[in-house]
């Protein structure tokens, strides 16, 4: 999942399941499968995300399920876990995990948060922060490094914005590969095509499927900062989608195809009075190959670069 505390993800799980336990790596030392700030969720319906798999995750999920069954508000469990022979892992490091149960009561508190969320690692409603925690927050307003800090038995996490909206048009081979890769990353994916039977029977969670007789009609429903990735079976449909995206606010616009297709689209859009200078075509990394999954990996890698750059900047500011 994302690095940092995502209120929207908590709200979604509580709305769906009534109660959720969030597992977050509060701190880590040495070699570990994942770094501090990595989180996952456990509900009665299943588990979402990963903290690295293996025995560490298996044990943490079991404890999270036990926490789900405990009564009372603001229930937490703090675990110090050495990753060695006792867990059958060869990493050699150690992690501290915080497990927290969230329901309607906790959600009401989260609505008032901004910038960061500080709370004790023991059960109980967040109260007045210790002086050391207050001092740390004053001195680190620019960022919290990887997004999390353990201070004086309190955990502090920066709040993160909702996942980047990505709208994928087309449920063909490349569309399916792209959605599969996107679904495990910090993106809010809406998948558009003209008929239900064009999609696979199982839609990856938490992808939203949108059936539109004319996929271009779906463009008006996208957020203004959405990334639009166009890869339908029809050049005519592709062009109409691009036309509508370019006629309204948008984040990015990518079109699958060749340099020849790009030249043709730029000319046609220009003749229609549309500025297509922000149209990206082809998409992906040609050096990786033309297989659907290779294209998908290249596209998603480009989408992840701004997020990685932001994290590097935060670490530099906090150093």
pLDDT, tens only, 286-307: 899 999 999 999 999 999 987 6
The answer on pLDDT for 6 being more than 60 is: yes
Q: What is the pLDDT of residue 313?
A: 40
On the question of pLDDT at 153 being above 90, the answer is yes
Average pLDDT rounded to a whole number, residues 229-239: 97
Q: Provide the token pair at 80.
A: 């110090």
Is a pLDDT exceeding 50 seen at residue 71? yes
**CA separation for the pair 257, 243 (Å, rounded):** 16
Sheet holding 94-102, edge to edge: 46-49, 39-43, 20-29, 94-102, 76-82
* Residue 298 phi, psi (nearest 5): -65, -40
CB burial class (10 A; 0-12, 13-18, 19+) of residue 89?
buried
Q: Which distant-in-sequence residues (6+ apart) come within 8 Å of 136 by Cβ? A: 149, 151, 156
**Is the confidence at residue 17, as pLDDT, over 60?**
yes
- Burial group, residue 215, by CB count within 10 angstroms (0-12, 13-18, 19+): buried
Check whether 317 has a pLDDT greater than 50.
no
Task: Kindly report the backbone phi and psi dihedral angles of residue 70, in degrees, each rounded to the nearest multiple of 5, phi listed first.
Answer: -80, 140
Helices (H), ranges, the chain? 7-17, 54-68, 104-110, 131-139, 173-182, 235-246, 259-271, 292-318
Write the pLDDT tens digit of every residue in 188-224.
899 999 999 999 999 987 788 999 999 999 999 998 9
Report how far residue 149's alpha carbon sits from residue 83's, in angstroms, rounded to the nearest whole number: 20
- Counting residues of the chain whose pLDDT is more than 90, the rounded percentage is 59
For β-strands 46-49 and 39-43, DSSP reports them as antiparallel
Domain boundaries, the chain: 7-158, 164-307
| pLDDT level of residue 247 (50, 70, 90 thresholds) | very high
User: Does residue 248 register a pLDDT over 70?
Assistant: yes
Check if the beta carbon of residue 50 is closer than 8 Å to that of residue 97.
no
Could you tell me the pTM of the whole model?
0.60
264 token code pair: 């043709």
The architecture that CATH gives domain 164-307 is 3-Layer(aba) Sandwich (3.40)
Please name the helix (run of DSSP H) or strand (run of DSSP E) that holds residue 100, with its range, or none: strand 94-102
Provide the CB-side half-sphere exposure for 266 (13 A, CA). Answer: 14
- The stretch 81-109 carries a mean pLDDT of 81
91-109 mean pLDDT? 90
């Amino acid at each position: 999942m994302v690095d940092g505390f995502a209120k929207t993800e908590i709200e979604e799980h509580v709305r769906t399941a009534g109660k959720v336990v969030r597992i977050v790596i509060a701190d880590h030392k040495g070699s570990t499968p994942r770094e501090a700030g990595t989180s996952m969720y456990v509900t009665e319906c299943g588990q979402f995300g990963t903290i690295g798999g293996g025995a560490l995750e298996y044990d943490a999920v079991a404890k999270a399920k036990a926490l789900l069954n405990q009564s009372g508000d603001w229930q937490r469990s703090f675990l110090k876990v050495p990753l060695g022979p006792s867990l059958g892992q060869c990493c050699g490091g150690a992690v501290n995990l915080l497990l927290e149960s969230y329901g309607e009561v906790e959600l009401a508190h989260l609505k008032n948060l901004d910038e960061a969320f500080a709370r004790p690692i023991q059960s109980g409603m967040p109260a007045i922060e210790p002086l050391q925690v207050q001092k740390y927050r004053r001195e680190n307003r620019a960022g919290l490094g990887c997004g999390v800090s353990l201070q004086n038995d309190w955990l502090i996490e920066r709040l993160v914005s909702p996942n980047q909206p990505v709208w994928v048009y087309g449920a063909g081979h490349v569309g399916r590969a792209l959605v599969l890769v996107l679904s495990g990353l910090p993106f809010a994916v809406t998948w558009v095509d003209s008929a239900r039977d064009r999609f696979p029977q199982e839609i990856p969670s938490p992808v939203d499927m949108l059936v539109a007789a004319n996929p271009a009609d779906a463009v008006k429903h996208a957020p203004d900062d959405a990334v639009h990735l166009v890869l339908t079976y029809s050049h005519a449909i592709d062009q109409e989608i691009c036309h509508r995206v370019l006629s309204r606010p948008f984040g990015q616009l990518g079109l699958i195809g060749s340099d020849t297709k790009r030249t043709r689209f730029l000319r046609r859009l220009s003749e229609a009075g549309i500025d297509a200078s922000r149209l990206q075509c082809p998409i992906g990394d040609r050096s990786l190959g033309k297989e659907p999954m290779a294209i998908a990996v290249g596209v998603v890698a480009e989408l992840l670069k701004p997020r990685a750059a932001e994290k590097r900047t935060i670490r530099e500011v906090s150093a």
